[in-house]
Amino acid sequence: MGRYFVRKTLEPVEENIESMSHFIHDAWHELKTPLAIISGNLQILRESKHIEQGLIEESIRTIHTMSDSLDGLLELSNVKKWDAITSLNLYEAFLDECEKEKVHLEQKNITVSLEIPKNIDISMDNKHFSLLFWNLIRNAITYNKEHWKITITFKNGVISITDTGIGIDEKHLSKIWERFFRVEKSGKNPGSGIGLSIVEKIVNLYSWKIEVDSKKDVWTTFYVTIK
């Protein structure tokens, strides 16, 4: 009986250790690869008699990606139970998040259609709201096509964010919440691979629900159901 009790007591600890082990392995792999790229580029530049502008630009992009990954990891670790619940006007809050991305929206000439009643308020930590929906809006911009649009709606307790972008292949839909997972790992659409993990963690904190639907090369919609 005593051994059984000890074994059951230690199971959560063992699960946490295994989870941490997987996390460390993933983080090591994710950061090791860009470091190898930068190291290789610097060796080529050291041995070359000419300045290779392309290698310099690639190294800078890689450093920025690493920085984004580290920032994302810090944000993910800091997402804890709320301690500053406030009443937020949903329309005004989304206006603020879209304003943060004004430059990126203009660069791709993307329009935002905000179809949210102006009298809807939700109770939420302001920082959690920003982290959750900024990540979804940023994704909608990053993976959207130029001169297209993003639609944000609220209906029957569900917030939806739809982009007219590259979409997500059905085989990848179940993987998008994993830390460091990116459908495209080229420099075309750079990202940390942490954003959706942060989104899922915040949604779970509030016992809400998030779902995604997508058609490759056509659109993607994220649905956040507020309970």
pLDDT tens, position by position, for the chain (227 residues)? Answer: 444 433 443 344 344 444 444 555 555 555 666 667 777 777 777 777 677 777 777 766 666 666 655 565 566 566 666 667 899 999 999 999 999 899 889 999 999 999 999 999 999 988 889 889 988 998 999 999 998 999 999 999 999 999 999 998 888 888 887 766 666 544 454 555 677 888 888 898 889 999 999 999 999 999 999 97
- Output the pLDDT for position 130: 87
With 0-12 / 13-18 / 19 or more C-beta atoms within 10 angstroms meaning exposed / middle / buried, residue 43 is exposed
pTM: 0.66
Whole-number Cα distances in Å, 91 to 64, 77, 147 = 32, 29, 24
Length of the chain in terms of residues written: 227
The Cα–Cα gap between 49 and 100 comes to 43
- Six token digits for residue 174: 């179940």
